[in-house]
Structure 1
Amino acid sequence: MRPIHNSLAVLVATAGAAADRQLTEAQLDAQAKAIVDKMSLEQILGEMTQIDLSVANTAAKVDEFAQLNVGSYFNFIGMGWKGNRVTANTEEWRAKLTEMQDIHMKRNNVPMMFGIDSVHGATYVDGSVLFPQSINTAAAFNPTLAEGLGKYMARDTKAAGIPWMFGPTLDVTRHKHWPRVYETFGEDPTVVAQMGKAVIESIQKQRVAACFKHFISYSDPTTGLDRDNSELSSYEILNYFMPPFKAAVEADVWSGMGTFVALNNVPLAANELMHKGLLRGDLGFKGLMVTDFREINLLATQHKVVKTTLEAVELSMKTTSYDISMVPDDDSFIQNGKQLVAANRLPEARLRESAVRIVKLKLKLNLFDEPVPGADVLSQLGDEASQLSALAIAQESMVLLKNQDNALPLTPGKASIFLTGSSSDSIGLLCGGWSLWWQGTSLNQVFPLGASVRKAMETTLGGSDKFSFYQGFDTDGNLVDNDGKSGDLEAAKAMAAKADYTVVVLGERPYAEFKGNDDKQPLPPGFLTYVKALKSTGTKIILVLVEGRPRLLNGIADLAHAVIFAGLPCEFGGQAIVDVLLGKVNPSGRMAMTYPKTDTSINLATPYYKRTNTSCLKDGIKYECPAEWQFGDGLSYTSFHYSNATISTTALSFSSTGSNAFTVSVTVQNTGLVKGQETVLLFGTPPATRIHAETKLLKRFTKLSLAAGEANVVTFSLSHQDLGYYSNDIGKGLMKDAPSGAYTFFLKHDTDCSTSSPLCMALKWDNPDKASFMPNATDAPTIVVPHTTSSSKSLGPQSASSNPIVDNGAKSAVAATALPVSLIIGIASGAACALALMAVYIVRRNRQQQSHVCYFDDDVVVLESKEQCHDVAVAGSNQSMAFQHI
């Protein structure tokens, strides 16, 4: 190893002293560049190398890699069984990382950076709360809850000393056989963008680096198999797959991850158009990019576009802007890089650019000063706040899909209940993959904070003689008893015959990534045989689906009086399921993806925006595509009535200087007898004459809480941005087109505008010059201004404060520099402000009136001048304040 420069040692020492100050991006860039300028080529290549912890599992091995200047490590501590746990606790994590940092700092004075897959909580930290999987967070349609997910999984990951999380997953689900569906926020670009943005912002508030993944197209393998290649048009890339990454960049995400696959026969590890054209160019991403597992070497070993790993490194470094290679088990990237530079096949300047981004992230994370962060949050691990946050997501993600004769909720003490099914007594099966182990587990004892459905039911009912349990069958459909031994169908039928209701909790085995490829789309035939047998006794079947992706039911749902899609609610999912079954919680979840009824390739791969009720549309041809349930499906124990749907104008002409703004409003009333939550969905449909026309596409959503009899007027603010689609050549700058024609907007996912409906509104749009326009800085998040007619409130990201007016997207909307519409935005100053009042400010349509966006600790307001921003900051004792002229 080349000895470290004395000047570099001084620079990194001063970096630690300055890291805790709030430096500007320019200052961070300058500081990182100053450090990298003093590095040798070997040190730079080491910084760009990431090693799996499994091959650096001793101090001696870490020292070998430290001498090679390796800059980062990843993965979990392999430990086997220790009592009732299978993963390291914070003490073990911090001891390991402290040892590694001590070795690295001794060798080269530059801290290593550790990353890990914290997928739905601190996945590999014993004692932390495991949250529902992302598909559940999406089904809740509540970005506030997504913020809680990001906050607590970042905090608990940091408590282990780990400052870098590989998440959130921003892949937009397409093919429903893909084994990573449950890791996504569903199939709608707007939902994925909003949830992803909420998670990213809350992660990074903990001074932990978020890492979007997987850029780009990974979630649409043509075969449905994990790691198979994808084929997408530029329109699909820009309009369906890009928006979540755009939202992430606007949220100032600090890092991102690529993907193994090839897009249109070009591997992402060598895809210049996607990396340099779209990500760095069109989206302006300036953060760090890391490859996925062994991604660069796969250019030679899997994709066969080059013959050697030397050529693979050369090709990837020339065509992408990857900064870190997840090698993951040797120094080959370092050796190949040295050889390429020496032969003038790779410019050293390209590598130094990456090293600057790496060191900059280490500065942002304060690793020079605190190499093993998180000691201050150790005592909070697994606390009540994180448990309640996980429970809330689980509860709000329960999707009631069928409730014949109002079978649910069940009445404790009156109705006799028989509980059975493969997933009825396993917390691990409620969690799925990426839960303590990569592939998950079916065990209970490793989840001390949670409860299975059986345990939660027994606890809630308090030993009632009207409750009985029998396992019945396993995830393969084999008959089993309560001890996992060979089961007795007749015994199960006898118990069902005595029960008014039989709750069947069934679902998948746990899996992650390609390990789920081989599972057939239909559930095992033994499931149907078992449920049919129970149904024959006269009991009423209540079906609870515990799945990470839509598995074909082959008629099981038809046998049930009620159906709940539970997804993978994890540790507190058992309690959430019981709460909904017994009416302690009114279900409010909605399907975040289509649930196909057949396993034809086109049915599995077609999202809702290319569907009618029973058909899929592809290349102008209709195909029969029956769905078990549609995107947006979800029932409640109360009822909601929509009325007075209005659009502010029925005709609008494009103006390059005016606002091009309009609103859609609707009154939503709870017409039932109990309090409930309603997700209000606004869809848009372009003219049928447009070259690319979706059958419908979600434009905005918000979630309301309404007491019985209460009503709320919800107003969605839109503009020409919502009429347009991305039409640019990739790499040439983002542009939108909105051709003239009749655009339709409608409320509720199942509204049919082909017939007369009061929830459908038409807008005649005139763009005679066919003008293209740049997208707004934040055109993806929802902007909603509810006008309260009673005490009801919106459940947007700021509902945790005292503010009932601003909901999801409002903070981003205020910060946008191109808001042409008058919005009344109430900002609650909360505990951080000494003023016990709510200030209401107006973003004026007249752009001649100067305004400033004022950013405080937790709030964003718009005032006339920066002086007014300062006055409010002083009055509210806000120590952190910035402003932006608009």
Structure 2
Amino acid sequence: MKRFYVTVALVAAAIVFPSSIPVPHSDTTKVKVDDLLSKMTLEEKVGQMAQVTLDVITKGPNEYVSDEPVTLDPNLVRKALLEYKVGSILNTANNRARTPEKWHELISQLQEVAMKESRLKIPVIYGVDANHGTTYTAGATMFPQEIGLAATFNRAIVKRGSEICAYETRASSIPWNFSPVLDLGRDPRFPRMWETFGEDVYLASEMGKQVIDGYEGDDNNVKNTKKVAATVKHFFGYSVPNSGKDRTPVYISEMELRERHLPSFKAAIDAGAHSLMVNSGIINGVPVHANKYLLTTLLKEEIGFKGVVVTDWADIENLHNRDKVASSHKEAVKLAINAGVDMSMIPYNFRFCDYLVELVKEGAVPMSRIDDAVRRILTLKYELGLFDKPVTNYKDYTEFGSAAYEKVSYDAAAESITLLKNKNNILPVKKDVKVLVAGPNANSMRSLNGGWSYSWQGEKVEEFATKYNTILEALQKELGKDKVVFAQGVAYNEQGKYYEEKDVDIDAAVKAAAGVDYIVLALGENTYTEKPGDLHDLTLSLNQINLAKALAKTGKPTILVLNEGRPRLIRDIEQDMAAVVQLYLPGNFGGDALADILFGDVNPSGKLPYTYPMYANTLVTYDHKPSEEQVKMAGMYDYASDFAVQYPFGFGLSYTTFEYSNLRVSKTSINASEELTITVNVKNTGTVEGKEAVQLYISDKYASVTPDMKRLRGFEKINLKAGESRDVVFKITGRDIAFVATDLRWTVEAGEFEINIDKQKANFNVTETKAFNEVKTRL
């Protein structure tokens, strides 16, 4: 028996530069930054705080549209970099992916101007959203979106995917990545839920640390030209708006902010993340971009964040245009910079620079605030090695888009896919069958990838991903085209909103089912993100529901494949499905991975990283309070508050069975600082090899603040052959089971705690109450 331990816790002339740069000492960087800062004019400093989108400096009819092929406009480049001294460029022209060669051409030209024509020779820092792979580079390796990566419960595969993303982003000559998203996916109505690592604080924190280590390296040496500077976003509380719609207000206590929404960001900051992007929304009536308490007192002073704070898209302007807390754009700049913003993602004009220079001269923004922001930005540029090597060359990255990298993407997709229902063990299906493939997601690479794929909304995926297999194509490859019938039944309107559907021909799909043995029904969502993904109804579309019901009535076993960014309600059709498989947004190899799971070549091992709701008014997370689980009491009404969910957090089936036994603790009582060892035996009691995500939950029985029913406090993904067993060991201390008390301090209180691993339970006591931190101020 093995033991397994885990601790909780203008001419495209290439510029030639040295290929290897020694890592500088931090004090050496500080000397360089201070020396450069002392030479800068106010206008040069303000320019470093400005970031514009690439379309502003390209040839084209206006700042929103570029000509194709995209070409830099020399006059506009010099206006931005020399007249306004702009320090950063982002995004990609016309919202579309470019080849590594094109990226190298464009960024080389920018650095040629910045490094040879500007007074102080300060390089530009280029940033891009590489959210699940290098989003905006043609040929890059696309991984599952974060929600799928969370479902793997596999730290190693998340880190490896992030390493590949960093490598391929640097191969694109881009050193700064606006990723990861460390908001929590606690509301399935939210259109960016799929960009998160799910609803749980611990899971998101652990996965976030893996991404930072993957992007930046374990030592955060981003001068390494295979690494990028990470940007954790969106700080913070962004993902739980009261309406469920993007960029709308949230009302949330500071206790909740600190206990649920801050830990994942703090974990990433502690892991060394170099930059942070601000929440575009409003918390308790105050836009976060104007909230000095959150951006300075909490983030920079209490937590000690030393990196760059960058806005999200046009969010300083939104303080005036949308949120109405600033009477003018100039006042909006004053509010945001004084609140703690270091760089403005403007992105379309230079008014920010003009206003900020005026504000400093008027005394409305102190020079000390400007110097602090610019010092952070220059430090990032030095740490990235941009002064010595402002452009990396795609020719040096021979592994870009390699088969080895694609294998990692496939493995991640395979481990993310979650089997939610398998009536009478209908899966895996034998390969001597004939199947009907139906549904709007059946023959779409777009829906497999989701948003932030080759373009913002993912509408250009089909142009770039033709070499990969849709679900239909993967099944045809697995069984042979003569064994696969295709009748879509419902199709998306690719030109309209993501949720609109056209070409509804359910009868044709029903007729096609006559000669098959099984039906694979791929339902879900088309691509979207941010505001375009807002919805009014969480229920799966009526057309898709009607298609599912009609196919179920044929009597042919129907395997429902959910290809969706958030859990759409399926209550009305779930009982008619022989099997339910959650695909999430698995990337380019999702179709292949699904086929291998359906036919038994791969044993599914994904686990839900969120609670799958059954009703629109039961959007409750697993870590809910006891009062959210009331049941009928004698002589009283039935409250219908029985925590009715479709599938619970952490749930996922396998083609084998796992038996948990012999849960034990190293001691039954600990003080707040002592370590407790928790051990459980896991055995594969089935007939096939399988992977299992072992999940440790702990419940605080009684506390001064109503405790959650249970909280995930540890997890580990293990692989067991048939008949093999293994001890999995977790180690925790009092800090690992603490909560945020009314005084806002992380506190563990004396009392009884219950451990749950699968159906195994054990108890232990904490013998003292202890607070683990000081809180300087509060909201």
TM-score, structure 1 as length reference:
0.79
Q: AA paired with 2:362?
A: A
Q: AA paired with 1:73?
A: I
**TM alignment of 1:366-377, pairs within 5 A:** 366-375=385-394, 377=396
Task: Look up the match of 1:126.
Answer: 138
Q: AA paired with 1:107?
A: S
Distance in 2 separating the partners of 1:627 and 1:475? 28
Question: Secondary structure, in 3 states, of the residue corresponding to 1:646?
Answer: strand
Task: Look up the match of 1:630.
Answer: 648
Distance in 2 separating the partners of 1:486 and 1:517? 23
Distance in 1 separating the partners of 2:118 and 2:754? 64
Task: Look up the match of 1:585.
Answer: 602
Q: Is the 8 A contact 2:189 2:535 kept in 1?
A: no
Q: Describe the superposition over 1:182-211 as per-residue Cα deviations: whole angstroms up to 9, x where unpaired.
A: 100101111111111111111113331110
Question: Which of 388, 412, 420 in structure 1 is aligned with 2:431?
Answer: 412
CA drift of 1:317 comes to: 2.0
Question: Secondary structure, in 3 states, of the residue corresponding to 2:623?
Answer: helix
Distance in 2 separating the partners of 1:62 and 1:533? 58
Task: Look up the match of 1:49.
Answer: 50
Task: Look up the match of 2:266.
Answer: 246
| Correspondence 1:24 to 2:28 | no
Note closer, same or farther for the CA distance 1:466–1:341 as it changes in structure 2 (3 Å cut).
closer
CA drift of 1:613 comes to: 12
Question: Secondary structure, in 3 states, of the residue corresponding to 1:214?
Answer: strand
Task: Look up the match of 1:678.
Answer: 692
Q: Is the 8 A contact 1:19 1:366 kept in 2?
A: no
CA drift of 1:490 comes to: 3.4
Task: Look up the match of 1:344.
Answer: 363
Q: AA paired with 2:49?
A: M
Question: Which of 561, 574, 585 in structure 2 is aligned with 1:557?
Answer: 574
Task: Look up the match of 2:762.
Answer: 761
| Correspondence 1:286 to 2:306 | yes
Distance in 2 separating the partners of 1:525 and 1:764? 52
**TM alignment of 1:698-777, pairs within 5 A:** 698-727=712-741, 735-748=745-758, 751=759, 759-767=760-768, 770-774=769-773
CA drift of 1:18 comes to: 13
Q: Which moved more, 1:192-201 or 1:525-534?
A: 525-534
| Correspondence 1:37 to 2:38 | yes
| Correspondence 1:498 to 2:515 | yes
Note closer, same or farther for the CA distance 1:349–1:163 as it changes in structure 2 (3 Å cut).
same
Task: Look up the match of 1:154.
Answer: 166
Note closer, same or farther for the CA distance 1:377–1:624 as it changes in structure 2 (3 Å cut).
farther
CA drift of 1:319 comes to: 2.3
Question: Secondary structure, in 3 states, of the residue corresponding to 1:609?
Answer: coil
Distance in 2 separating the partners of 1:584 and 1:637? 11
Note closer, same or farther for the CA distance 1:411–1:377 as it changes in structure 2 (3 Å cut).
farther
Task: Look up the match of 2:10.
Answer: none
Question: Secondary structure, in 3 states, of the residue corresponding to 2:235?
Answer: coil
Distance in 1 separating the partners of 2:731 and 2:583? 33
CA drift of 1:277 comes to: 2.3
Task: Look up the match of 1:90.
Answer: 100
Distance in 2 separating the partners of 1:669 and 1:165? 41
Distance in 2 separating the partners of 1:426 and 1:670? 36
Task: Look up the match of 2:7.
Answer: none
Task: Look up the match of 2:375.
Answer: 356
Question: Secondary structure, in 3 states, of the residue corresponding to 1:405?
Answer: helix
Q: AA paired with 1:154?
A: A
List alignment gaps of at least 5 residues for structure 2: 1-16, 59-72, 218-225, 495-500, 632-638, 775-779
Question: Secondary structure, in 3 states, of the residue corresponding to 1:45?
Answer: helix
CA drift of 1:416 comes to: 2.5
Task: Look up the match of 1:107.
Answer: 118
Distance in 2 separating the partners of 1:398 and 1:23? 43
Note closer, same or farther for the CA distance 1:613–1:349 as it changes in structure 2 (3 Å cut).
closer
Question: Which of 423, 427, 446 in structure 1 is aligned with 2:441?
Answer: 423
Question: Secondary structure, in 3 states, of the residue corresponding to 1:610?
Answer: coil
Q: Is the 8 A contact 2:625 2:707 kept in 1?
A: no
**TM alignment of 1:507-586, pairs within 5 A:** 507-518=524-535, 520-586=537-603
Q: AA paired with 2:388?
A: D
Task: Look up the match of 1:687.
Answer: 701
Q: Describe the superposition over 1:240-264 as per-residue Cα deviations: whole angstroms up to 9, x where unpaired.
A: 1111111111111111110211111
Distance in 1 separating the partners of 2:143 and 2:365? 44
Q: Describe the superposition over 1:773-829 as per-residue Cα deviations: whole angstroms up to 9, x where unpaired.
A: 349xxxxxxxxxxxxxxxxxxxxxxxxxxxxxxxxxxxxxxxxxxxxxxxxxxxxxx
Distance in 1 separating the partners of 2:723 and 2:99? 49
Distance in 1 separating the partners of 2:145 and 2:529? 12
| Correspondence 1:225 to 2:245 | yes
Q: Describe the superposition over 1:601-651 as per-residue Cα deviations: whole angstroms up to 9, x where unpaired.
A: xx33x321016798489xxx9945421111001000000000001112222
CA drift of 1:570 comes to: 1.6
Note closer, same or farther for the CA distance 1:651–1:91 as it changes in structure 2 (3 Å cut).
same
Note closer, same or farther for the CA distance 1:149–1:123 as it changes in structure 2 (3 Å cut).
same
Q: Is the 8 A contact 1:427 1:442 kept in 2?
A: no
Q: AA paired with 1:337?
A: L
Q: AA paired with 1:472?
A: G
Question: Aligned-residue CA RMSD in angstroms?
Answer: 2.2
Distance in 1 separating the partners of 2:661 and 2:716? 17
Task: Look up the match of 1:437.
Answer: 455
CA drift of 1:665 comes to: 0.7
Q: Describe the superposition over 1:300-352 as per-residue Cα deviations: whole angstroms up to 9, x where unpaired.
A: 222212201221222222222x2101111122221111111111222112101
Q: Which moved more, 1:281-290 or 1:444-453?
A: 444-453
Distance in 2 separating the partners of 1:418 and 1:468? 5
In the alignment of these two chains, the number of paired residues is 721
Q: Is the 8 A contact 1:598 1:625 kept in 2?
A: no
TM-score, structure 2 as length reference:
0.89
Distance in 1 separating the partners of 2:394 and 2:630? 53
CA drift of 1:708 comes to: 0.0
Q: Is the 8 A contact 2:446 2:526 kept in 1?
A: no
Q: Is the 8 A contact 1:475 1:507 kept in 2?
A: no
Q: AA paired with 2:476?
A: E
CA drift of 1:597 comes to: 1.2
Q: Is the 8 A contact 1:475 1:506 kept in 2?
A: no
Q: Is the 8 A contact 2:682 2:727 kept in 1?
A: yes
Q: Which moved more, 1:225-234 or 1:393-402?
A: 225-234
CA drift of 1:599 comes to: 1.2
Q: Describe the superposition over 1:206-230 as per-residue Cα deviations: whole angstroms up to 9, x where unpaired.
A: 3311100000110111110000111
Q: Which moved more, 1:178-187 or 1:273-282?
A: 273-282
List alignment gaps of at least 5 residues for structure 1: 1-15, 80-85, 478-483, 752-758, 776-886
Question: Which of 182, 186, 209 in structure 1 is aligned with 2:198?
Answer: 186
Q: Which moved more, 1:196-205 or 1:580-589?
A: 196-205
Task: Look up the match of 1:60.
Answer: 75
Question: Secondary structure, in 3 states, of the residue corresponding to 1:63?
Answer: helix
Q: Which moved more, 1:558-567 or 1:18-27?
A: 18-27
Q: Is the 8 A contact 2:43 2:85 kept in 1?
A: yes
Q: Is the 8 A contact 2:175 2:384 kept in 1?
A: yes
| Correspondence 1:78 to 2:89 | no
Question: Secondary structure, in 3 states, of the residue corresponding to 2:581?
Answer: strand
Q: AA paired with 1:525?
A: L
Q: Which moved more, 1:449-458 or 1:582-591?
A: 449-458
Q: Is the 8 A contact 1:19 1:363 kept in 2?
A: no
Distance in 2 separating the partners of 1:587 and 1:528? 26
Q: AA paired with 1:473?
A: V
CA drift of 1:667 comes to: 0.3
Note closer, same or farther for the CA distance 1:443–1:295 as it changes in structure 2 (3 Å cut).
closer
Q: Describe the superposition over 1:123-159 as per-residue Cα deviations: whole angstroms up to 9, x where unpaired.
A: 1101112111110000001011111221111111111
Q: AA paired with 1:76?
A: T
Note closer, same or farther for the CA distance 1:107–1:337 as it changes in structure 2 (3 Å cut).
same
Distance in 1 separating the partners of 2:18 and 2:46? 26
Task: Look up the match of 1:841.
Answer: none
Q: Is the 8 A contact 1:429 1:442 kept in 2?
A: no
CA drift of 1:442 comes to: 7.3
Note closer, same or farther for the CA distance 1:489–1:270 as it changes in structure 2 (3 Å cut).
closer
Q: Is the 8 A contact 1:300 1:307 kept in 2?
A: yes
Q: Is the 8 A contact 1:528 1:554 kept in 2?
A: no
CA drift of 1:380 comes to: 2.2
